[in-house]
Amino acid sequence: MTVLKTSLRNFLAHKGRMALSAIAVLLSVAFVCGTLVFTDTMNTTFDKLFAATSSDVTVSAKSASDTGETTSDNGRPPVMPASVVATVRGADGVARAEGTVFSTSVTVVDSQKDNLSPKSGAPTIVGSWNGNDARTMKITSGTAPHGSSQVMVDADTADKHHLKLGDEIDVISAVGTHTARISGIATFTVTNPGAAIFYLDTRTAQETLVGRTGVYTNVNVTAAKGVTDPQLKRNVSAAIGGTYKVQTAKETADANQKDVEGFLNVMKYAMLGFAGVAFLVGIFLIINTFSMLVAQRTREIGLMRAIGSSRKQVNRSVLTEALLLGVTGSILGVGAGVGIAVGLMKLMGQMGMHLSTDDLTVAWTTPVVGLVLGVVVTILAAYLPARRAGKISPMAALRDAGAPADARAGRIRAAVGLLLTAGGGFALYLASAAAKATGGSLWLGLGVVLSLLGFVVVGPLLAGGVVRVLGTVVLRVFGPVGRMAERNALRNPRRTGATGAALMIGLALVACLSVVGSSMVASATDQLDKTVGTDFIIQNDGGQPLVPQAVKAVKDTPGLKRVTEYKSTTADYTTPDGKTLKDTDITAADPTYAIDLRTKTVAGRLKDAYLPNSMSVHDKFAKAHDIHLGSKIKVAFKDGGTAELTVRAITSSDGLIDQGAKYTSIATLARYVPADKMPLDELVFASAKDGQQDTAYKALKSALHDYPQYTVRDQTDYKQALKDQIGQLLNMIYGLLALAIIVAILGVVNTLALSVVERTREIGLMRAIGLSRRQLRRMIRLESVVIALFGALLGLGLGMAWGATAQQLLALEGLKVLEIPWSTIVSVFIGSAFVGLFAALVPAFRAGRMNVLNAIATE
Amino acid sequence: MTSAVTIPRHGGTGGRTAVAARARQVVKAYGSGETRVVALDHVDVDIARGQFTAIMGPSGSGKSTLMHCLAGLDTVSSGQIYLDETEITGLKDKKLTQLRRDRIGFIFQAFNLLPTLNAIENITLPMDIAGRKPDREWMDRVVTTVGLADRLRHRPTQLSGGQQQRVAVARALAARPEIIFGDEPTGNLDSRAGAEVLGFLRRSVDELGQTIVMVTHDPVAASYADRVLYLADGRIVDEMQQPTAEQVLDRMKDFDARGRTS
């Protein structure tokens, strides 16, 4: 009981010193809980949406996806004849059956030819206005579409693009471009997750999306009273036979939900990963806090021991304080987590995905997970300092503060640290030398963990040397104040080491990813330069295929020497080794593609692969399936017949672009796949006549003005786009790593604040003999800067080593060029100096405000 | 107008006034109303230049407060304090800090030295802070006089208590302040080490012309001074010139007796 009482008193007496540790726990727990609440809420939202929008039973074409998405390679949705609707209507237990037409392979533009599709990646849906959708959408202005010149748009999209009744919009599909005026605006009565939806009347939808009337993509079936969905499904299936897919509302919702869940899970685990990094960093902060509190309380603990407290009791009292800290931080963290989730929902709202706080879902597991994580991590982190506290001898009560450094512990630390670092280095070496990516990535993981641990252990020992070097380079300019700052940073290397290590972790990840990212860009650029022989690349950035009218526009552009179409589809292969490979990719292109992309071959000539009934495979595939030049492969094309293709070239699987592609010509594909099933072009390449690059580029851009969903890029633009894309991804990751870095900054603040308290008398003395407030503040700031730079130096060094190893490993996958982004590395280094300055703001201010006399008088 | 910050001068009268510091009607009170405690009650005092002055008195007599006020570490409730011709009462923190740095030296009872700096670095610290180069010749003389020439590279933890205090004295002298204040500088030392430090303070007055003010409750320490001021209840109640330890002790007993009877 006494233990609890002293712990509680100590905890309350030092609540200021505990505050920053509590914030660290709070932030990490909040991030975890925020992620969980947010993803749960998204799930709830989608659940409700899918439950609300699915009809009792839906009939669709066999090849349609379970989620009801109606995309296909040829840009037209898979359809069924109108007779199916009549058959369904005749089935038992059917109250109503309505045929609908939908497509997501569409682009809608306004009269200015601006793309109305959501930028968030949510789909653009064009379909027939129907009774099922009328359940979840209310026409809030105008009327439902009627006749070919009318279209209705959802209210969110109308708001976002300032569309009003009477505005003209174009629906661009593989069938053609259809122009209509807005006749009505419909508002969702459930949460709209961000899709842009346009409604036509049924006949217009059929003509616009499929190209002919009398066909439907779906039949929405409503059950008669007393008929359950599974019953209805059985009845409908019995009526129409097995040619079509029949799903109950639950099945459709589940399929959709699974789709969304997959995406949400990726997001969830990525964010939890970053929360994990923050926790790791928080551990350092907590270790430091308790170490410093124990050090400051050495005499007190010595006294407790002298009057009869056992080691265990002392140990337990420190752990009890940790428990209190963990519980406080975690409870606040759970609360803050809900706040974060609401914030994220608002953010999604800004991006066009409207989530309602009514759906806010806090599962009972969320607070439990948060609390358990927070408490366990805090107690684990406090364990070492608690043990150290237990070891304090009763003699400490009599001695002046400041135990002599344990030289033996230092040697053990050095040995363990060096061993770990060396092990990590060796593992990294093995990873870089690995012949296979899978084995290598294991070594890479091991190397990263070991070298990180090694650096953490050996950090306090490195602090001496590194801080001295930094001191010579950075601090000497500041004269005696700089020197004192350096000495202060060196005074307790373990503390400096742990504080720096916290920053090191975040920055190591930043450095590693930036090296990998820029190596990616550099490798791709290098390969583009070496292998790409085309001037312009035309594509949709979301991966949508090019509609024929856009391809025609490209072909009609003046000043072009050649235009290459590029399609891809799948086929079932039967290879010479007798194996059958299902749903395997095959690329069909014009023969000129051999010029546009100079893929190296290991056997044969690439252009021969474009001869009739010929193809190429890459060397790994050839090796795996016993394929040689002249081998014949049976290829059963999707939506088409079976061909026997002769292998006339074997390509090298080196390189990033089109890695592992198997080529054949579009002409060959056309022999086996009927014209209306032919996949649309995925990419189109164009090359200008000599000396007409600039005019051709302009001409292409204006030719595609009406198709804003496609982008024309010359090689420079393409490289830039690649760079931007990777840059964007990196920025997102950096943003998430900011959490870990914030916790690390809290750690620096904490260390400084506790150091200032510890050095009260020294500060008083220095002030008495004439150190000005400004000089004092500068001294503390410089100490902070040195600690931050120390962490940055270790982190960046470690991160670059990881990044370089990863690149060596990925060289097997085509990441041939190592590029170290020095500008990023140097800015991070300089930035961390500012982080140090920032962290020292409050501690320096408080030190400056200290009353000289009180400081001197402090025991 | 005299600036608070002047070029440091050698101790001694040097043709200037014979008074290094003075207090006029200084009152220092804590709290207000019924809880008001007066630590200094209209104190007038002149500290003679080139002299060793000891301030004595029982606990709570206000002797430390008087020293802190004279040294510009503490503020007064009313009255004026002058260092040479500079009035220091009412100066802002920045000016006061510079004044302490450039014109005053300190020796505290304990914790005089920064543990991260070695002896010589501690000695030159005030000048380093001010960004001034120490006068080599003077430094050598101070260091030799204090007898620390072979210990200059030692950290404070590697020095004995007496050595640490000698380093503190050397630091106080090194910048050639106009006046050195000692707050029980021998309070933590055994009698032999204490005698060493006191002898050294005495010599710095005699040989270097330094002005020293020392607060103490030890009659033996006070006997090293030229003049002893006695404080009781915030007032100067007596003083003695050229004291001996016995005289001081007698006087103290006297006060004690009076204190008990009154």
Closest-CA residue in chain A for B75?
A853
Give the distance from residue B43's alpha carbon to the nearest chain A alpha carbon, in angstroms. 21
Whether chain B has a CB inside 8 Å of the CB on A339: the answer is no
Per-residue pLDDT for A121 more than 60? yes
For residues A422-435, give the mean pLDDT. 86
pLDDT at A404: 47
For residues A373-379, give the mean pLDDT. 92
Please judge whether B114 and A853 are an interchain contact, meaning their C-beta atoms are less than 8 angstroms apart.
Answer: no
Facing residue for B129 by CB, picked from A487, A761, A775: A775
Report which secondary-structure segment, H or E, holds B139.
helix B136-146
Residue A730 forms part of a structural domain: yes
- Please count the structural domains in chain A: 3
Residue A852 forms part of a structural domain: yes
Q: Which residues of B touch A481 (CB under 8 A)?
A: 129
For residues B244-261, give the mean pLDDT. 74
Range of A199-208, A479-488, A532-541 with top mean pLDDT: A199-208
Interchain CB contacts (distance < 8 Å): A and B: 70
Burial class (CB in 10 A: 0-12, 13-18, 19+), A584: middle
Residue A616 forms part of a structural domain: yes
Residue A855 forms part of a structural domain: yes
Write the DSSP assignment of B164-181 as a string of letters: HHHHHHHHHHHT--SEEE
Closest-CA residue in chain A for B180?
A769
Co-location of A87 and A131 in the same domain: yes
Co-location of A704 and A567 in the same domain: yes
Residue B91 forms part of a structural domain: no
Provide the pLDDT confidence category of residue B53 given band limits of 50, 70 and 90.
very high
User: Crossing angle for the helix pair A298-306 and A311-350, nearest 10 degrees?
Assistant: 140
Residues 6+ positions from A598 with CB-CB distance below 8 Å? A530, A531, A532, A533
Residue B151 forms part of a structural domain: yes
pLDDT tens sequence across A590-635? 999 888 888 888 888 888 999 999 999 988 888 888 888 988 999 9
Residue B28 forms part of a structural domain: no
φ/ψ of residue A53, rounded to 5: -95, -15
φ/ψ of residue A153, rounded to 5: -125, 150
Scored b (16 or more CB within 10 A) or e, A111-124 reads eeeebbbbeeebbb
Distance between CA atoms of residues A127 and A60, nearest Å:
14
Give the distance from residue B106's alpha carbon to the nearest chain A alpha carbon, in angstroms. 7
Give the distance from residue B74's alpha carbon to the nearest chain A alpha carbon, in angstroms. 7
pLDDT at B259: 55
Closest-CA residue in chain A for B95?
A772
Residue B85 forms part of a structural domain: no
Co-location of A767 and A783 in the same domain: yes
Residue A47 forms part of a structural domain: no
pTM of the model: 0.81
Residue B249 forms part of a structural domain: yes
Facing residue for B125 by CB, picked from A769, A772, A852: A769
Residue A699 forms part of a structural domain: yes
pLDDT at A160: 87
Facing residue for B74 by CB, picked from A402, A481, A853: A853
- Look at residues A163, A394, A381, A185 and name the one whose alpha carbon lies nearest to residue A284: A381
Co-location of A579 and A512 in the same domain: no
Co-location of A117 and A232 in the same domain: yes
Please judge whether A770 and B129 are an interchain contact, meaning their C-beta atoms are less than 8 angstroms apart.
Answer: yes
Co-location of A729 and A697 in the same domain: no
Scored b (16 or more CB within 10 A) or e, A598-617 reads ebebebbebbbbbbebbbbb
User: Length of chain B, please?
Assistant: 262
- Look at residues B142, B181, B229 and name the one whose alpha carbon lies nearest to residue B20: B181
Question: Chain-wide mean pLDDT for chain A?
Answer: 86
Q: Which residues of A touch B114 (CB under 8 A)?
A: 484, 762, 765-766
Whether chain B has a CB inside 8 Å of the CB on A487: the answer is yes
Residue B14 forms part of a structural domain: no
Give the distance from residue A490's alpha carbon to the nearest chain B alpha carbon, in angstroms. 9
- Give the end of a domain, one of A244, A260, A276: A260
Provide the pLDDT confidence category of residue A368 given band limits of 50, 70 and 90.
very high
Closest-CA residue in chain A for B114?
A762
Q: Which two tokens stand for residue B60?
A: 């709570």
Q: What is the CATH number of the domain that holds B58?
A: 3.40.50.300
Please judge whether B129 and A771 are an interchain contact, meaning their C-beta atoms are less than 8 angstroms apart.
Answer: yes
Please judge whether A768 and B106 are an interchain contact, meaning their C-beta atoms are less than 8 angstroms apart.
Answer: yes
Closest-CA residue in chain B for A491?
B116
Domain with A664 in it: 545-708
Per-residue pLDDT for A85 more than 60? yes
pLDDT at A406: 53
Q: Which residues of A touch B101 (CB under 8 A)?
A: 769-772
Give the distance from residue B191's alpha carbon to the nearest chain A alpha carbon, in angstroms. 21
Q: What is the ipTM of this complex?
A: 0.81
Around A130, how many Cα atoms within 13 Å sit in the side-chain half-sphere? 27
Residue B11 forms part of a structural domain: no
Whether chain B has a CB inside 8 Å of the CB on A626: the answer is no
Q: Which of A476, A477, A769 to mutate to test the interface with B (most CBs of B within 10 A)?
A: A769
Q: Which two tokens stand for residue A385?
A: 């300092």
Co-location of A665 and A786 in the same domain: no
Per-residue pLDDT for A1 more than 60? no
Provide the pLDDT confidence category of residue A577 given band limits of 50, 70 and 90.
confident
Residue B12 forms part of a structural domain: no
Please judge whether B97 and A491 are an interchain contact, meaning their C-beta atoms are less than 8 angstroms apart.
Answer: no
Co-location of A610 and A745 in the same domain: no
Please judge whether B98 and A771 are an interchain contact, meaning their C-beta atoms are less than 8 angstroms apart.
Answer: no
pLDDT at A296: 80
pLDDT at A189: 84
Q: Which residues of B touch A770 (CB under 8 A)?
A: 97-98, 100-102, 126, 129-130
Please judge whether B125 and A766 are an interchain contact, meaning their C-beta atoms are less than 8 angstroms apart.
Answer: yes
For residues A529-533, give the mean pLDDT. 85
Co-location of A606 and A623 in the same domain: yes
pLDDT at A785: 92
- Give the end of a domain, one of A199, A232, A260: A260
Co-location of A719 and A702 in the same domain: no
Per-residue pLDDT for B14 more than 50? no
Residue A299 forms part of a structural domain: no
- Look at residues A715, A719, A723 and name the one whose alpha carbon lies nearest to residue A514: A723
Q: Which residues of B touch A487 (CB under 8 A)?
A: 116-117
CA distances to A41, A214, A347, A536, A600 from A356, in Å: 9, 39, 12, 44, 54
Q: Which two tokens stand for residue B231?
A: 């404080």
Per-residue pLDDT for A808 more than 70? yes
Contact criterion met (CB below 8 Å) for A703 and A554: yes
Q: Which residues of B touch A484 (CB under 8 A)?
A: 114, 116-117
Co-location of A516 and A635 in the same domain: no
Please judge whether B115 and A762 are an interchain contact, meaning their C-beta atoms are less than 8 angstroms apart.
Answer: yes
Interface of B with A (CB under 8 A): 68, 73-74, 93-94, 97-98, 100-102, 105-106, 108, 111-112, 114-117, 125-126, 128-131, 157, 171
Provide the pLDDT confidence category of residue A378 given band limits of 50, 70 and 90.
very high
Facing residue for A480 by CB, picked from B97, B108, B129: B129
Domain with B108 in it: 50-72+97-261
Whether chain B has a CB inside 8 Å of the CB on A762: the answer is yes
pLDDT tens sequence across A699-735? 999 999 889 889 999 988 888 988 898 898 889 888 8
Distance between CA atoms of residues B51 and B180, nearest Å:
11
Co-location of A636 and A759 in the same domain: no
Residue A610 forms part of a structural domain: yes
Q: Which residues of A touch B131 (CB under 8 A)?
A: 479-480
Location of structure tokens 């201010």: A845
Please judge whether B115 and A856 are an interchain contact, meaning their C-beta atoms are less than 8 angstroms apart.
Answer: no
pLDDT tens sequence across B106-146? 888 877 788 888 888 888 888 888 888 888 888 888 888 77
Provide the pLDDT confidence category of residue A301 given band limits of 50, 70 and 90.
confident
Closest-CA residue in chain A for B64?
A853
Closest-CA residue in chain A for B5?
A770
Q: Which of B5, B66, B67, B73 to mutate to test the interface with A (most CBs of A within 10 A)?
A: B73
Interface of A with B in 374-413 (CB under 8 A): 402
Per-residue pLDDT for B1 more than 60? no
**Within 10 A of A583 (CB to CB), how many other CB atoms are there?**
9
Q: Which residues of A touch B94 (CB under 8 A)?
A: 772-773
Give the distance from residue A761's alpha carbon to the nearest chain B alpha carbon, in angstroms. 8
Distance between CA atoms of residues A463 and A324, nearest Å:
32
- Please count the structural domains in chain B: 1
